[in-house]
Structure 1
């Protein structure tokens, strides 16, 4: 196998026209340059230089290897530039996974800011696998994924960063007997028929656990796995539901994440208590990716987007209407 370093020494001799000039350029002694060229000739099995007066000129083989050495030198320089750009976060690919409500509330504004700061970073954005949202991060196919508190601990090379706690509120038909309440004790919903809005998994578990703590199991008579449809069922009087605030109003976390909520006009939303179900939202990040500026910038944007704007207004309907006292 040809020695690349010796090829670069040969190139210096060919471009300068003499061993002495090449040695001065490289900071070597003429003897060291001659030894390097001689060793390369033995590897090549063919003469590379011939003497011409006080200088040298390349043979056909010498010219061939010198030309290839120039190409290698350019490729190395390009690789170093590309690596510096990647290291500085100017280029590269960032794979992000998210679940539906987090997409509107957190991911969209965070990525918009990231694109402005790192315009040449290519974003690979897809929804998580609901059965195994950590899978792509753990297998190295994604740099970051937004997940609800996972049921199993991630691998050691994945870090979980808590972003926010997303509380569930009661969603009632507009004329419901409890619609005028400021807050509703969860046990007061024990005898109601329920509209389900969550598939089995980490989003449904907080609801079931809170109801169990209140001493009952919800009677799901209608099932939907998206919040707008579930609200339509509630508005039609088919039952009541518990839905996460981020799903009802994606902009609840911060002004930077404020987007129009998907609130049905025929429902009333009220906080619940004793206990109040909450789902914890995390960013699962590959630890090796935390060294990349775009990943750090995205994580910081997600944190800022998840910051609450302030205390929850007592007695205020999230639609803006005032809630009468009970």
Structure 2
């Protein structure tokens, strides 16, 4: 109906009016075209700018046996506020089974993964992956391509065949620091820091959260790293006040002792100490005689590296034994073990204490 009215109205116009209306419509068409071009340009500029400032790529290697926390924490840190393009990479992009049984689906395989700005190598039960020639080739290539490399826990063992560790300070999980030093003799394995920065390599001894924050600060500045830390409610301990796991005195406790009693069914009553001393208390049930228990504990301690028997005393229901513990430094340690038998209830107390601290 509206079009009929418009056509009727136009038919009643004079030739001069129709010419003027034509000019008017042409100008409107030109303005419409200009307006469209401006809108397109307005939208395109931000998109162009975004393309010029692409997010850094953070590639996290995953494999069968990878430790959950070693790959998940870096993913969380780098993924905060969408500052980076974070993704998981495996050899073939098929689901992998982590050390504790979690199933993880990688984003990419070695063949189609974007080239990373940051390469993250997490630890775990990685023996098979570290001996895989295809994994080695991909890592060696990515080491060359990446601006930053972050190793978490034992993930640094992926690099032991690579020259990047040569003449650098590095660290790893406390229980494998001696092994790392042995197989990389021209590197310096640091035992008193949880994060060690050596050029493009950042190695972390444990979970990787502080190491990830250090790399994040390299990418986006200290302010962003602090925002992410606070958002995750992570309390960063100043280096001068932090005691690395490798320096705590409980590592002087004998590991073989657990073969002498049913510790999985026992009650752990206390476990505490610091750099210079540590105590632990257990309670467990046993129908064995005190003499039989003593024999088992002595055998386990005799086979413990560095432990030397000094003296012991025994009563009808208690045994106390004194030992010295060798140290690689000038310090020496004293170890005491006590067993108290109350019918079938056994109390076990063990302590170690530094006698001379440099």
Global fold match (TM > 0.5): no
Q: TM-score normalized by structure 2?
A: 0.30
Q: TM-score normalized by structure 1?
A: 0.32
